[in-house]
Structure 1
Amino acid sequence: MSDSKAGKISWFRTVRARLLAIALLPMLVVMPLFLGVVGLNWSNRFDKLLIAKVNGDLTIAHQYLEGILERSGERVQALGVSAEFEQVLAKNDPKAIADYLERQRARLGLDFLYYVTRDGKLISSPEFRTGMDAMKWPVVRRALAGMNATEIDIFQAEDLAGISGDLAKQARIKLVPTKAAVPTDRTAETRGMVVHTASPVKIGNRQAALVGGLLLNRNLAFIDTINDLVYPPASLPEGSR
């Protein structure tokens, strides 16, 4: 055996080498475990923080949506029992009623507003392109039974097109393939999510309903307000929006 090899072997057998091994081995074993535990704990805490943030954002959005439902219902209810509306109905003039509904629809910021009687006669703003079966909607049936009702209803493409071609176009959203999305053959979402509110109207012995709706699909005012509530100014890095 050469002197150099003998020197190396003898060095590993020295007390200094053994003490160095005793000092370093725990570090080499414990440090990776420590870093792994710290990294896992940090990742779990970060996930919980993100979940809490998302829950908070969803709560804000939900509260705003509830506010829209409440305000829409209150405004249509107030209009339905107003003396002015009662006077317009008393004239029994369909054109005068339609003109009044058009003005009120614009004032309330609704996409449609109509007056329907129990026998299905309907006067609307805007003037519907095709006849609508108003009785199929639960909110309308409840209003005709004397109860106020406000819900979010899903309108099919033909329902929206029957009200207005512009509403049908606004509701259409191109579907983009994304991970974890439900498989579908559709290329676009054509249904509309509508804040649908109805209030009972009674003129003499006649029972009717005043019905209003607001389409939420691509409603920029609705989207921008939620965006501003969830992400107020300076809450996001510059250029991230």
Structure 2
Amino acid sequence: MADTQEKDAKRGRPAKKGLHGWKAALTVFGCGTFAAFGVFGVIVGVLSLFVTTVSSGLPSGESSTNPPGAGIGAPRADLEVGQMDVCSDNLDNLTSISVDRRDSGDSYLDTVDPDQIDIDGALRVVSDQCQWELISMGNSTPWDFSFNYEVVIDADSGINRDDLAAARFDVLKSELPDLVENVENETESPMGEHSYSVYGSGDSGQSVYAALIRTRSAVYTMHFEDRAVQSTNRVGEGTFQGEGRKISNFLGQGFEYWIPA
């Protein structure tokens, strides 16, 4: 790997090869294929449709079998090292939510090192952990938003990557309630291919919501925590889930395209 990577002096991680983020989105769009990862804001008409659909559901008369981003095209044949970076290239550009990144940005990993991979049978994994401040529409207090993801890019011969992600999902699902101090509800969630969420309150009475989602060989966790403590006007589970669905709808289309076939 050392022969194929350049070090980014600013962030201390492999420099990205080829097109990624908004450049990839523009290139793919120009070829007639709409890539879900990237900056949709460059095309005003498409952005308006995307935001309206994600925020309010499908337009009147549109079939639920034709969701936003349909026609994205077949998955990629391969993925260059450093090309998938969800925190830096994609969440920053999701215009249906208002976020401000708070972490240092040094947790990104695209590795084939077995000592750095926690998923048995996986040969290459892309992962990251990032922290954000999120301003929810209609909520006066900012939320703390944590986002962690793991994507199996390559696996041992004869092993299905989606099966590895499903096994990882089961492990993380058992740990999800640990993210909420006082659990009030646990349920299957309508996000991604498979998802599970936990809602309750923190040790200071603040509203907390955590969701685990799997799409193909990607598994990711969203954790929202309201900064208002001991509030009589708590953030409801549905409000948290609404913000989570904006993110999962966006990322679901992206993972379908960016994870190699």
Counting strand residues as a fraction of each chain, which structure ranks higher?
Answer: 2
Structure whose alpha-carbon radius of gyration is higher: 1
Bigger relative contact order, structure 1 or 2 (CA pairs below 8 A, ≥6 apart): 1
- TM-score bin, normalised by smaller chain: under 0.3
What TM-score does the superposition give when structure 2 sets the normalisation length? 0.25
What TM-score does the superposition give when structure 1 sets the normalisation length? 0.27
